Amino acid sequence: MRIFSYNVNGIRAAISKGLLQWLEANSPDVVCLQEIKATQDQIPLMEIEMLGYQHFWFPAKKKGYSGVAILSKITPDNVVYGMNNPEYDDEGRFIRADFGDLSVVSVYHPSGTSGDERQDFKMKWLDFFRSYVNELRKSRPQLVISGDYNICHEAIDIHDPIRNAKSSGFLPEERQWFTDFLSDGYIDSFRHLNKEPHHYSWWSYRANAKQNNKGWRIDYHIVTENLNDMLKNVSIMPEVNFSDHCPIVVELNK
């Protein structure tokens, strides 16, 4: 099972740049999308279906904001929209699809870059998310939690850890949350198989950041430890330019 995750920063814009042709060429089994910024009536669903994908959308109530989705060539047994918490679900941040024993989540963690209020919201969300997922594991023990976490976990995950030490997305409390979350029994699949530096998944549009590879690795396929033996391959695709993020890939022997 090849699972892609991609923060498209507006699916309509990404489609206009060639997203669907790229999907056709790469043919992943499951695609987790974040920041779709659209409702179903604004998306060319028939074109997606012609590629062989079933599609499940969880947009934000606010127009043109946030939203997650899952596309799948495999029919899921069950799809769950949100976390049964209106404060977060209104922003369209979590969708889950169950495939037999395996569950795949597309998640879009809040950003705290706009100020203290959203940073506080982000930290509250992180605590709720951690509790929710740990409870979910009791009934769905095999989880792939894919998406934009808006956190660089370690210094290796950011191009300039010293200057960004007080930046949202690399704050000590966010990084500690990530450490604590992984200690609950999860694996950062990319870092588990790839220890090399200079691998990022997001670049600012400013100052030629992408060309100079001054990026942040904030997109992850986090998997439960019981999937360790199934991890076959991981990759990041910086050559794909439909967004300020790039796609990330995990392949499971499933």
Amino acid at 19: L
Q: Where are the beta strands (DSSP E) in 49-185?
A: 54-58, 68-72, 78-81, 94-99, 102-108, 142-148
Active site residue 148: yes
- Rounded CA gap, 199 and 195, in Å? 10
| Positions of E strands within the chain | 2-7, 30-34, 54-58, 68-72, 78-81, 94-99, 102-108, 142-148, 186-188, 202-203, 215-216, 219-224, 231-236, 248-252
How many whole angstroms from its chain centre is CA 239? 18
Q: Nearest 10 degrees: CA dihedral of 207, 209, 214, 219?
A: 130
Cβ(146)–Cβ(5) below 8 Å:
yes
Check 29, 77, 98, 148 and give the catalytic one.
148
- Cite the active site residues: 148
